[in-house]
Amino acid sequence: MRMSDVIYMPQAKWKAGERRAFKTASAQSNRLVPAFKITPAGSFDPDEQRVLTPTEYLQRFGHQLAESRGRRLAFIDAELVDDDRHRRAVDVHPLTELLERARLSGANAAPIFSLNSSADYLKAVRRFIERDRNAVVCFRVSLQELEDIPTAAQLADHVLELGGAPAQTALLVDGGPLQIDDPEDLAHLLAIQMGRLIARDTWLRVFWSATSFPNKPKMSPGMLARFPRSDWSVYEAIIRLKDEFSVVPMFSDYMLEFPADYNPIRVSPTAKLFYTTEKEYIYCKGRSTKVADKYGNIFPVATQLSSIAEMKAADYSLGDSYIHRLSAGTGKTGNASMWRWCSTDHHLAVVDEQLTKALGISRERLAPVSPAEQLQLV
C-alpha cells in the first residue's frame, strides 16, 4: 500500500474488537492506516481468557498486529507503556520491543511520536529511523501546539532532529475531543494555522483528527441516545473550504471511543452497541452481564437498534450482518469484544463511504477477507 492512497487514519485503542474490525474491513484496507494507542497491560485478554503479564502483553503484539493487518502499515503510539513497569518487562525500550515483535511476525509497524514524548522514547524512534532510512513515521501535534509553533522550519525540526525527514513523515494534527457549534469557524482557523506551517509537497501525508464521541453519558438500561457527529461536520466544512488550505488534510477520528480511560479495567461488561450514521453516533445500552440473562442481554439491545430508520441492510458490512443476527435473539450471544467489533466494522464502512464520496474517489466494494464464521466472530 502507498501512503498517497490513504484517506483515513482512525485512532484506535489496542483492543481485540478494534483489531478484528481492521481485519474484516477489507474494502477499505488500502485507503486507511490505523493509529493504535497501545494501552497498559492488565486488562482481560479475550483470546487467552486471562490477564496477561506485561512481558506476555508486549511479546504478543507482533502476532496480533499481523493477524489484524497482515503486511499493511499500522502506526503505533507506545507512550502509555513508556514507564518503569513495562520497561522492566523487556530488555529494550517498550517501543523498540513492539516494533521488533511486529517485524519478526511479518507485520509492518511504524512509531508515532509527539512533542510530549520522553527522551528515551525519542531515542527509540531515532533507532527505528536509523535502521531503515525509507521507513515512515507519524508526528502527532495537538491543535494548541500547532498554534504555538512559530514557523514551518521549527515544525520540521522536530523530525529532522531524529534523523528523519518530513517527506517520510505523516503529520497528524489532533484536535482531540471537540464540541463544535460552527464547523466552518473551526475550518477557517485550521486553514490559517495549517497554511502558516504546512507547505504543499513537504510532508508525506497530513491528517486532521477530532472526535465528538460522548464521554460516559448518563444512560439507564434500555435507553437509546443520539449524539451529533460534529467531528465529521468539521471535515465536511474543510472540504467545502478546501481552496483556503495549503494542503487539504485527510480525515482522522477516534472511531467509537472517547480519548480517555486508558488504564486496565476488570469489570463485568454491560450489553451495549454503538452505531454510526451519516450525522450521528447512536448509543444503545442494555443491562449488565452480571444479571438475569447475562450475555443474552445483548439480544434486546440489538433488536432496539435494528428498529431505527438509519439501520443499514445486513449486507452493508459484516458488522451489520452480525447486528441483524443478534436482533433475531437466537444463536450465540458473543461477548464485549465482539459487540465492539461489529460496531467498529460498521463505523469503518460508513466513514469509507462518506470519505470516498466527499473526495471523489471510486469506491470498490470488495469481498471480506474471509467469511464471518471463519473469523470466529460468534
Gap between the Cα atoms of 73 and 86, Å rounded: 24
Amino acid letter, 74? A
Note the pLDDT tens digit of each residue in 62-84.
999 999 999 999 999 999 999 99
DSSP string covering 35-65: EEE-PPS-SEETTTTEEPPHHHHHHTHHHHH
- Decide if pLDDT at 365 tops 80: no
Q: Are the C-beta atoms of 94 and 59 separated by less than 8 Å? A: no
Q: Are the C-beta atoms of 298 and 339 separated by less than 8 Å? A: yes
- Decide if pLDDT at 362 tops 80: no
User: Which pLDDT does position 52 carry in this prediction?
Assistant: 87
What residues are paired with 205 via a beta bridge? 170
Q: Are the C-beta atoms of 296 and 326 separated by less than 8 Å? A: no
User: Which pLDDT does position 260 carry in this prediction?
Assistant: 86
193-197: average pLDDT: 95
What DSSP state is assigned to residue 26? G
Cβ-based neighbour number of residue 27 at 10 Å = 19
Note the pLDDT tens digit of each residue in 286-333.
999 999 899 999 999 999 999 999 999 999 999 999 999 999 997 899
Gap between the Cα atoms of 235 and 287, Å rounded: 35
Please tell me which of 28-32, 42-46, 50-54, 336-340 the model is most confident about, judged by mean pLDDT.
Answer: 336-340
- Decide if pLDDT at 368 tops 50: no
Gap between the Cα atoms of 112 and 110, Å rounded: 7
Q: Lowest mean pLDDT: which of 47-61, 183-197, 214-228, 344-358?
A: 47-61
Gap between the Cα atoms of 158 and 197, Å rounded: 13
- Name the pTM for this structure: 0.94
- Decide if pLDDT at 372 tops 60: no
**Residue 26 confidence class, pLDDT cut points 50, 70, 90:** low
- Decide if pLDDT at 46 tops 80: no
Which domains does the chain possess?
3-361 (3.20.20)
Note the pLDDT tens digit of each residue in 138-167.
999 999 999 999 999 999 999 999 999 999
For residue 351, give the C-alpha cell: 466513514
